[in-house]
Amino acid sequence: MRKAKRIYLLLLLPLALFPLSCRGLIKEAFKTPKVRLIDVALTSNPLHDPRKPWDFTLSLEVDNPNDYPLEVAYVAYSAIIGRETVAQGEHREEIRLGAAGLTVVKVPFSILPASFVNACRDSLLGRKVTYEFNGSVGMRAPMVGVVRIPFSKTGGFDPVELLRRKGFGIN
């Protein structure tokens, strides 16, 4: 009787480990989509109550290089300029990205006005703007569930030099 239990447990072990081994295969077979911002639309009136968050809708062009469609369960993000967190939020609606092609996705985005003004002031005084855009995307994968994929983009620029290049004469 004891041998039968051991054999039964040995037969169940591969079934228990199967979902864990699939997670590695999914990450190896997955190609990261490229995202490009194509439009920004203001969806709230900041003049109505200037202290409330400014709501925008971002239109993103997502290029899925994979030969299969992708199901996005959620997107969470934060945007930092200098030391100020100027935006953060989540988009919890399902998004379907077509296989091997471009899909335009509309995502809500809110900016915190007090933080944004502070970040702009600090950036102009310091003559250097640094930014970070961090977050994660939850991809729905068969047999595994939702796989969290983090993303991060950092950079910086000189706002005075940028204005000079655009034709504004600032000394």
How would CATH label the architecture of 31-165? Sandwich (2.60)
pLDDT of residue 5: 44
pLDDT of residue 12: 45
Closest CA relative to residue 53, chosen from 63, 61, 62, 44? 44
Each residue's pLDDT tens digit, 34-45: 988 899 999 999
The arithmetic mean of pLDDT across residues 125-147, rounded, is 88
In the chain, the amino acid numbered 151 is F
Task: Judge whether residue 9 has pLDDT over 70.
Answer: no
pLDDT of residue 99: 92
In sequence order, what are the residues at sequence separation of 6 or more whose Cβ sits closer than 8 angstroms to the Cβ of residue 118?
Answer: 84
CB 111, CB 53: distance < 8 Å: yes
Average pLDDT, the chain: 82
The arithmetic mean of pLDDT across residues 126-152, rounded, is 89
| pLDDT above 90 coverage of the chain, percent | 46
pLDDT of residue 161: 82
Strand intervals (E) in 48-83 = 54-64, 70-81
Task: Judge whether residue 124 has pLDDT over 80.
Answer: no
Task: Judge whether residue 141 has pLDDT over 70.
Answer: yes
DSSP 105-147: EEEEEEE-HHHHHHHHHHHHHHT-EEEEEEEEEEEEETTTEEE
Each residue's pLDDT tens digit, 59-117: 989 999 999 999 999 999 999 998 899 998 889 999 999 999 999 999 898 999 999 99
pLDDT of residue 122: 82
Which phi and psi angles does 146 have, rounded to 5°?
-90, 125
DSSP state of 44: S
Task: Judge whether residue 159 has pLDDT over 90.
Answer: no
CA distance 30 to 135: 18
Query: What predicted TM-score, i.e. pTM, was given to this entire model?
Result: 0.70
